[in-house]
Amino acid sequence: MTEIVKALVRGLASTLHPRMILWMIWPLAVALLVWGIAAVAFGAQTVRWLEGQLSTSAVAQWISQWIPFEPVAAVLGWAALLILFVPLVIVTASFIVGVFGMTAMVDHVARNYYPGLERRHGGTIMGMAGNAVMALVVFLLLSLVTLPLWFIPVLWPVLPVLLLAYFNQRMFRYDALSEHADKDEMQAIFKRHNAAMYGLAILLSLIAQIPLVGFFIPVIAGLAFTHYGLAQLERMRRA
């Protein structure tokens, strides 16, 4: 737990560098622009579809015994659109950071905290791209499968946190180590510290629920995973 907290604190401190601030801004701006345009273009149709799905549910039939359900469905439809909008922006920004920004972030962390750590280039550009695509595809599939459960009050706060945690650890752990670790070292760290990396990802997902702060979680997560991965690599080589 101490190593997780240390990686998170160092990741937060690293965001104060001007280059990292730039990485916090422009991927977020692109993601907001893309999904803002999508919301304007398809928001009304999406809400109508959600209203139709809600109106045919067993819950809707039960509520209709006492009050008209149409206004309730309209409110829930717009609320669902808002609930979906924020994670989509964060995931899109995370994907942009993972694909285009992790090399710069790893270099920044390595130069300032691990200057003597040998670079053994166990990862490849194709590996980084494939890892990012796989993380996104699995995240989207899991989100679609579990989407009906998001409307259950007990599960609504839990599922987004767990899904975003999966996405964060899958997206950033490979890139954090690909430059410095060889293939065997990468696999050893992934296996030995799998639970800890999930723990770090869950902690980051909880932070992402804080209003406004969540929009900057892609860079915070990338830096935190880089700090954690390189620290474990350095410790393993010393041992």
Report residue 210: phi and psi, to 5°. Answer: -70, 125
Within a domain: 86: no
Closest CA to 59 of 76, 46, 43, 47: 76
- What is the tally of structural domains in the chain? 1
Residue 76 lies in a domain: no
**CB contact at 8 A, 222 and 215:** no
Residue 198 lies in a domain: yes
**Residue 113 falls inside a structural domain:** yes
In a domain, 217, yes or no: yes
- Which H or E run includes 32? helix 18-55
144 within a domain of the structure (yes/no)? yes
Inside any domain, residue 53: no
**How high is the pLDDT of residue 119?**
93
Task: Look up residue 152 and give its DSSP letter.
Answer: S
pLDDT the model gives residue 166? 93
Under-70 pLDDT residues of the chain: 1, 43, 46-47, 49-78, 151
Is residue 175 within 8 A of residue 106, CB to CB? The reply is yes
15 in helix, strand or coil? Answer: coil
| Short-list 175, 181, 172, 176, CA closest to 121 | 181
Q: How far apart are CA 194 and CA 188, in angstroms?
A: 10
Find the domain containing 233 and state its range.
Answer: 2-27+99-238
In a domain, 74, yes or no: no
pLDDT of 203 reads: 94
State whether residue 179 is helix, strand or coil: coil
